[in-house]
Structure 1
Amino acid sequence: MRVCAKRIDGMGVVTRLRLIIDDDGELYECRNCGSKFDHEPDTCPTCGSGEIAHYEF
């Protein structure tokens, strides 16, 4: 999804993330390589790391 730059000027980080992920307010991210997922994998399929961060918005 592409967001117009004018639309996000002045918005907070959480608001920007909500626009980007456009989901139910959860994001999983590999702490090693930064890959993002809709669900929590046991290990990152990109780099194999087991350190997955979970964010709720």
Structure 2
Amino acid sequence: MSSVGKDLKSNSVTVSMDEVRKLAQLVEETVKFIDKQVKDGLLEDDEHVGTG
């Protein structure tokens, strides 16, 4: 199954459900990676509290 839409320049674009699923997975993995980096940074900050 695919959908047809338009890009910002009004060119036709076809997007398949497989492409949407892959994009959603990539976004989820990216958010998890960023979340881990933020949590790790917060833990490092907590370890340094009171040592300065």
Tell me whether the two structures share a fold, i.e. TM-score over 0.5. no
Higher relative contact order (CA 8 A, sep 6+): 1
Q: TM-score, normalising length from structure 2?
A: 0.20
Q: TM-score, normalising length from structure 1?
A: 0.19
